[in-house]
Structure 1
Amino acid sequence: MSRRTEQHPDPTDPRIGAPFFSTWRLGTPERQRQAVEAIGWTWERRPWPSADLLGYHVYAGQDGSTLMHYSQWSSEQAFEAFVKVHRQERVDEVDTAVPGIERVGLARYRRYRSRERAVGDTRVPGLVVTVRIDFEAGDEGRREEWADLVLKAVEDDPEGHAGLLSAHFHMSADGRHVLNYAEWESAEAYDRALAAPPTDAWERVRTYPGMAGVTGSRYVHALGLHPGRG
């Protein structure tokens, strides 16, 4: 069966071979809430679709309009099999409950590197931040080096990032962008880090050649689903 969980996902789970992120646009906080309820109801009434789906999580954007979806699959082939057999009935039921959802897009990734949570750190993330960095055509090979620079800058500035619980860098399958999924202790901790004077390391990150655009979004964890017995 499909069961709810309050636990945040672990992007470093070695079983994850194909992480997927997607975005829905709902327009209002009320429709955000209704969509989350509809997703939970739709999934909990059905068996868990596949042992290859390790977890499915939904996040409410602090913009009051969007939902982000993060699903952890063992492989892309397993996801494609789900799409053929199980996905449409779930989509139809959610759309009946909340008409007019704008599905902005689904992106496929591979996780490159992470700054993992410290051993013994049991803080619950109060904020999840995603930052998408697009690269110019022909500069896709710079993505890994850019992520390495960010992790080095965080490592060199532990005090300024005391509220950062973890950060996980994902490379898009199309080769064009990086997505950083980061867990923060709170929105206030994230704001303090943004307001801190930039170090030389962060200047190198921000002025790295080949970057074509940066988009950041803030979320709170709204729904977690995982396989359960029943």
Structure 2
Amino acid sequence: MADSTFPVVARPDVTTAVITPQYAGGVERQRDLVRADDRVRHSGLVSVSWFASTDGESVLTYAQWADEPVGETGVRYRLYRSLARTDEARVPGCLVTAVFDVDGPERQRTFVDSLIAALPDEDGHPGAISAHFHLSTDGTRVLNYTEWTTEQAHLEATESGNHDELYEIFAGTPGVRPLRGLRYHLLDSWST
């Protein structure tokens, strides 16, 4: 069923998320890539969401599987921890991802736990909706999937310096190397 809403990241029937970035090289090409995605809908595939980077350069596909992914070429992740209010009613308008190269499964968990421990006890920026930390199944990546009300809200949070302490953790943790993070808007989605 097509629904064009952000995926429910902490969906209980999902065991694996396959996350695939793809270079588009322009806004028109982003839509073309989504239209051309002839993904076979296997019985274990429960949702697919396509996001366009705000810089027009790429498309991110976020596919959720209840069973072992079939025919997927992206990085396989498992949700490790989420920060989200159970009474949250705001609708996400912007996805922000941050990806980190890490030295193994132990480093993955330690890094995420350190980030969460460094977050303020209060709600943080008013535009922040949720954060979902994914660990790649091969132990080499951490992906932080964060939902924001708008792109502008995330820009304001970045410019305010609220992320400075977290950046020090990114840059100062042995065995962790930050890779590129991007802002995205939802292009299309479907779910069962």
TM-score by length of 2: 0.87
Structure 1 residue 165: Cα displacement = 0.6
Work out which of the residue numbers 145, 151, 159 in structure 2 matches 1:187: 151
Q: Give the distance between the partners of 1:158 and 1:222, measured in 2 at CA.
A: 28
| Closer, same or farther: CA 68–197 of 1 in aligned 2, 3 Å | closer
Number of aligned residue pairs: 191
The yes-or-no answer on 1:21 pairing with 2:13 is no
Q: Give the distance between the partners of 2:60 and 2:138, measured in 1 at CA.
A: 20
Work out which of the residue numbers 57, 72, 77 in structure 2 matches 1:65: 57
In the alignment, which residue of structure 2 is the partner of 1:164?
A: 128
In the alignment, which residue of structure 2 is the partner of 1:213?
A: 178
Q: Which runs of 5+ in 2 are unaligned?
A: none
| Closer, same or farther: CA 201–109 of 1 in aligned 2, 3 Å | same
The DSSP-based 3-state class of the residue aligned with 1:120 is: coil
Work out which of the residue numbers 124, 134, 138 in structure 1 matches 2:91: 124
Bigger radius of gyration: 1
In the alignment, which residue of structure 2 is the partner of 1:32?
A: 30
Question: What is the root-mean-square deviation in Å for CA atoms of aligned residues?
Answer: 2.3
Q: Which amino acid aligns with 1:19?
A: A
Q: Give the distance between the partners of 1:226 and 1:120, measured in 2 at CA.
A: 22
How is 1:68-217 mapped onto 2 (pairs within 5 angstroms)? 68-76=60-68, 79-80=69-70, 83=71, 106-116=74-84, 118-135=85-102, 137=103, 140-156=105-121, 158-159=123-124, 161-197=125-161, 202=166, 205-206=169-170, 207-217=172-182
Structure 1 residue 153: Cα displacement = 2.6
The DSSP-based 3-state class of the residue aligned with 1:12 is: coil
Aligned 8 A contact 1:149 1:201 in 2: no
Q: Give the distance between the partners of 1:22 and 1:197, measured in 2 at CA.
A: 30
Structure 1 residue 198: Cα displacement = 5.2
Aligned 8 A contact 2:5 2:186 in 1: no
Q: Which runs of 5+ in 1 are unaligned?
A: 88-104
Q: Give the distance between the partners of 1:121 and 1:169, measured in 2 at CA.
A: 18
Aligned 8 A contact 2:51 2:60 in 1: yes
| Closer, same or farther: CA 199–34 of 1 in aligned 2, 3 Å | closer
| Closer, same or farther: CA 126–200 of 1 in aligned 2, 3 Å | closer
| Closer, same or farther: CA 203–6 of 1 in aligned 2, 3 Å | closer
